[in-house]
Structure 1
């Protein structure tokens, strides 16, 4: 309880001035004991009545009604914590306005927030003037309308966790006695238990209802399975024998007649069957609107197709992913049993697709693991070599390494496409150090890069960069480093959609070959050393200015516009370059070396993620 809201002598007194220490005569003490016994008796009686209740709302209403009677306050109300931690009023006794009832107190605010935070009772004799609680402006506007002045709150504790607050309030200023606080706290303990029991009872009842509904659903499904036992057995046989879309389409045509069309996840026809006798129909793709309706609802959708026939569509999905669809077209509308058969066939189709995808993913995972082992540990164990041979891969003949980069698609999508292509090249594909990588056999690295680029570009539908490197011996890891850095050089040079061998970028190999890093440092130091040192010490941009000058073909006007500087500024910078490098820096031989040096410096900065300016 806040010391600023206590009586002037630091004690707590009742409304009539009585308390545990009130009165020195024996009659006053006896009156106090009788009043305490009545309150305790009322507390036990109300606790027993609460224990007999089952509905949560009924328990809440009973709690505030009994609290109102026990304490004798003008108003009693109860607020519970919601999922966001707000205190929301759930029940009240006394006059509570509609605006007050709909108010929510944010976490940690007001007297209730303090009670929740401390897990202990707290009261103020005048809420509006109290400065020991955090006020909420919206709530404070409602307090005068309701006339709330003195306010006592006690926590509703379930174990050590506060789930709400029980309030007693008066419309006149006054302190709360210690026995009032203790009585309301004791009652709140009983009320919390009753409320928790009511919640558990309600949850149990809802769980029982769900179980009953699930049981009814199971009964309906069992009856449906029994009615379609023959189809179910046939579909099971398709699964066990590794059948495909054509087998399912054939079974549906045999039992439902008409025409059946199977679409894949990209809405391409993968199977179509038509019955021999009437009622026959032509196999066709379902209308786009009907297909979208089936996808949206997840259930079979039917509609006339305009030629006197009825088209029914069931989508194939699993785990929220669209995998395809089955459509039935015939003269008669499908009955409920036919709809269930079509939907069950779609489920089986989804199972077949998942099984196929699982096999493909397992194979991709094995191939990816083998690729990582080759790049990280060239000395293979005989068992690993056997695993590769079982997949048609002779690791001793893997002589080309490819890295593909496609910013418009996740790396996993690029790897999936490389895995699909790897058997054609007797190779392995996977993700290595975040890059889509492939090891393969090829006579010409340039042709392999071009062919893979065309295939990936067509499959992914977006620009892709592909670089290939001829592996020297078993130096796969070195080739990987060269290849991915070559891809970065290609992108820095403006290429966004092409396939090439690293040899085509031989003049830039000094940038992306780690073994030549020392040569690059020496070359840059010889050509650009004074400019680099000057830029470093003075925070200038002489190297960037020189690069722009060469990029603009030595044209001063274009260079100034490119750099967004005045012509005089450009001339001063170029004069400084001449001072640092010598007057002959623009001669053909020196200009060629200097131009190459600034370009290599820029490329290395792009590879290393540095600013070359």
Structure 2
């Protein structure tokens, strides 16, 4: 117990910023020796805390970089600040920036940080040669953990000699684009074979986007320095953008989300603002957004003119402005605004304000995207762990479920969703949104498996099932359901039942529908883990039995005689010793109770099976004499 209390105290101190890693390592080792699973969970908690602290540090660093670059007015100082910050942000040995020479058609080394080789500092890179030349030619990021042996790049003696003299092993480069024009490449490099991650590339790309905006700022200052009026206007725009950036940075550092950024931008510009996610759906809004606004069309408009990686506001019809939200070359969403008045034109200061808002929104969405992806993977792992248990899961599994917001003792339903392989990821996102923080979603055996709180699997599955259409022939989603169940009792049996129900729907040519074993009629009796025979009989014969109980009629007996006589009213009348008209009248009453299609082959088969089960002594429907 003492070790556990020590561990909790140290974790609490670590969360407060008072890290004592040596003592924490000792306590974790003692706990792992006696309780291996507890030790492993502790390491996971510690890793999650470190990742969160690292994300906060990266965001704060990028916000600080943006403020520093916004305050620079000299192009040389801007470039030097860019490479210095890139080296510190990514923790690399070297950072450097090359600029494009349009007259010679190559790029040349402009500024470096951490470089020791004169040959390397004076290097020129022809377009297409080396990693930097390929970035310049393709205008897309490239990275390698070991440049010397990487056959993807066209090696030249001059470049390889300079790289070897500098001692560089791994390189990452991303293009620098300003006003739709390629102006250079920003690099980060290591003198050891340390691979670059996707997060490293995204962060370097975010810095390149910030740098591009700052270069535009300094170029505009230089261009407008010819007159005092223009210079004053540029300074006013810079001050306006800097004030806006401070406000956006404050919103983020106080824990705000894209909705808070939209509100801050709307209040600054005096109009309405809407933020769309990467799929074009509205993620946040502020002010009276026009109800007839075609947000998706506006988002496409921004995509057509995304500024080459820079968030440039683009005018649309009706005084609407759209700006692409981009980080690391990845389109994360769209920012829309309007209702500004005065011809709905943007001043230079407002343009810069919108650019800052788009950049900060991109950073927030990038980190939220990483957090959501980590949560999605954690939930998928927890679901896999639950389904892998035969019977009741282990206590550690139940603890993990509870930590994710899934109550092990509450009723849940389990859904197995089958769709085209290309649609599984989108379906998983849709199911995750449906379950929120209390559901689990994962992929298993080529299907999307969903655990949701509730008692009705058919109702839950109906929200995901959809048939194919002429416009989308591969869009069918077939859902088999099972439950209710309590996760604490295990879910393996429910998984098998839901899978069989989905397979039965496909076999019965009912793709695009949702059903549980109880919804599949007699087929459900064969599929169900615990077949509800009495419920099946009640569901088929209930209205007829209730009528017999109320009126003292013999409709059930007449149905039995009718089917026993090969569906002949005449022979049924003889067997019952009544007139054939009496049989006809009784069958008309059956039709009024069961519907006009009661004699269809499929329905007739269900009725005969229910009558046979009823005759064999299953618990009778309520009211049966």
TM-score range, shorter chain: 0.3 to 0.5
TM-score, structure 2 as length reference: 0.42
Structure exhibiting the larger radius of gyration computed from Cα positions:
1
TM-score, structure 1 as length reference: 0.42
